[in-house]
Amino acid sequence: MTSTKKDPVVVILQLTGGNDYFNTIIPYNDSIYYDNRPYVKYERDQIIPIDSQLGFMPTMGPVKELYDQGKVAILHGIGYPNSPRSHFRSMDIWHTCEPDKVGTEGWAGRVARELDPNKENVLTAINFGHGLPRALAVPGVPVASIADLGTYGLLTGITDQSQRNKALELFSRMYSPTVGGGMVGDYLRATGTDAMRGADIVKVAPERYSSTIEYPNSPIATHLRDIAQVYLADLGTRIFYTQHGSFDTHAGEAAAHPKLWQEVSEGIAAFFQDLHEHGRGDNVIMYLFSEFGRRVHDNGSGTDHGAAGVSFFIGDPIKGGMYGEYPSCKPEHLEQGDLVPNYDFRGAYSTIVEDWFKLDGKPIVNGNFEKMPVLK
């Protein structure tokens, strides 16, 4: 599959741990916010107003700038019914779109399978980080997982380059299809060859890359720079996945939350500046989500697991603004002290799958859900 610059691309950024929605997009003119947050709140004069009711938390300035350029869509009240308030279960639900049973196929992996049914490109979907998030795991779909683009590959422990090249040559001979060994052996060799091909192709990305943009020094900014490098190298990757955290701020939220969002916001700003410097912002959208929001009332030092959260779409193709409604914060409208979700996350996925990738969303997200008109 040859890549064309017109192929739509998505970057999924997972805010792992449960981002505090109530403290991210803040109803700063509502006394309920201040009443519920005696210890874990942002001061009125530091909140960045969006309108007369809502504002970004203080370290989201770079995102606010993109918002002012009309490139950020805020999806209010996202979640699903009967939140289990468990990270692992909730993340599973977001990854597999199976709220009622334990699912085994990741939604983004299904998208990759549809985008490249003949597995022509081993780099159709790439995760940046350790391991493979379940969202990308579908049996038989090749997905690369890159912890660090600079050192990605096979037998990277061999530091002597000429020695390593010899070892890799040997590897490719040992994994060549002419070696006998039965069906399972054949499968192993094909997979090993895929892995090596992927590593081989992707290594050109840092070589081809040149940019004046300086990314800040944080793990998420580094992953986003790696993503920019691979994207700009035109390797045909359509789904980039990465994560940042931990947003599980049960304690010490006042210190941790601003730091986390500063890293995310600055990373995102650098990423889009980079794309613009290369004139390549027109076919990339970014999607941010977290597995749940957090409890409305703080616990003295942090906040506990909640339900409704917030998602963001960012990019040039995005029609900026606010979508949906902020869930009611009135005590009588909370469930177990939590904001109640009023928008199903599978609708946001359907928006990506159908309106961006032009695929049938139903088999991927397991049903029909209300989409949001966030694309221009």
Distance (Å, rounded) from C-alpha 246 to C-alpha 224? Answer: 17
Site residues for another protein, 239-278, by CB under 8 A, read 250-251
Paired residues of 27 in beta bridges = 54
Using CB under 8 A as the binding rule, whether residue 187 contacts another protein is answered as: yes
- Residue from 194, 234, 277, 335 touching another protein (CB under 8 A): that is 194
Give yes or no for residue 198 binding another protein (CB under 8 A). Answer: yes
Q: How far is the CB of 160 from another protein (least distance, A)?
A: 9
CA distances from 270 to 24, 169, 179, 211, 282 (A): 20, 38, 47, 11, 16
> Nearest approach, Cβ of 301 to another protein (angstroms)?
9
Q: Which is nearer to another protein, 199 or 348 (CB)?
A: 199
> x/- binding map, residues 85-124, to another protein, per CB under 8 A?
-xxxx-xx--------xxxx-----------------x--
Site for another protein contains 181 (CB under 8 A): yes
In the structure encoding, which two tokens stand for residue 371, read together?
């989409």
Q: Between residues 50 and 239, which has the closer beta carbon with respect to another protein?
A: 239
What is the x/- site pattern for another protein, positions 284-323, by CB under 8 A? ---------------x--x-x-------------------
H/E element, 16 = strand 9-16
- Vertex 80 angle, CA 74 and 86, to 5°: 105
32 vs 195, beta carbon nearer another protein: 195
In whole angstroms, give the CA distance from residue 12 to residue 312: 10
Which residues neighbour 285 within 8 Å (Cβ) at sequence distance 6 or greater? 8, 9, 10, 11, 313, 314, 315, 317, 318, 352, 356, 375
Shortest gap between Cβ of 139 and another protein (angstroms)?
6
Which is nearest to 67 in space by CA: 52, 46, 48? Answer: 48
Query: How many chain residues touch another protein (CB under 8 A)?
Result: 58
* Among residues 27, 84, 216, 219, the one that binds another protein under rule CB under 8 A: 84
DSSP state of 81: S
Write the binding mask 199 to 218 for another protein: x where contact by CB under 8 A, - elsewhere.
x-------------------
Q: Which residues of 171-189 are buried (b: 16+ CB within 10 A; e: fewer)?
A: beeebeeeeeeeeeeeeeb
In the complex, what is the shortest distance from the CB of residue 87 to another protein, in angstroms, rounded to a whole number?
Answer: 8
Among 21, 42, 175, 247, the residue binding another protein under the rule CB under 8 A is 175
- Contacting another protein (CB under 8 A), which of 38, 46, 174, 276? 174
Task: Kindly state the tokens that stand for 141.
Answer: 């779909």
Among 177, 185, 337, 367, binds another protein (CB under 8 A): 185
Q: Which is nearer to another protein, 15 or 136 (CB)?
A: 136
Between 66 and 141, name the residue whose CB sits nearer to another protein.
141
- The residues that bridge with 13 in the sheet, in sequence order, are 242, 288
Query: Per-residue x/- marks for another protein, 142-171, CB under 8 A?
Result: xxxx--------xxxxx----x--xx--xx
Please state the closest distance from residue 188 (CB atom) to another protein, in A: 4
H helix intervals, 24-86: 31-36, 61-68
C-alpha–C-alpha distance, residues 309 and 343, integer Å: 10
Residue among 12, 199, 8, 238 nearest 113 (CA): 238
Q: At residue 46, what is the residue type? A: Q
Q: In whole angstroms, how close is the CB of 365 to another protein at the nearest point?
A: 19
Least Å distance between CB 270 and another protein?
27
Pairing of strands 239-245, 9-16: parallel
Q: What is the dihedral sign for C-alpha 172, 173, 177, 183?
A: negative
The contact set with another protein (CB under 8 A) reads: 84, 86-89, 91-92, 101-104, 122, 127, 130-132, 134, 137, 139-145, 154-158, 163, 166-167, 170-171, 173-175, 178-181, 184-185, 187-189, 191-192, 194-195, 198-199, 250-251, 299, 302, 304
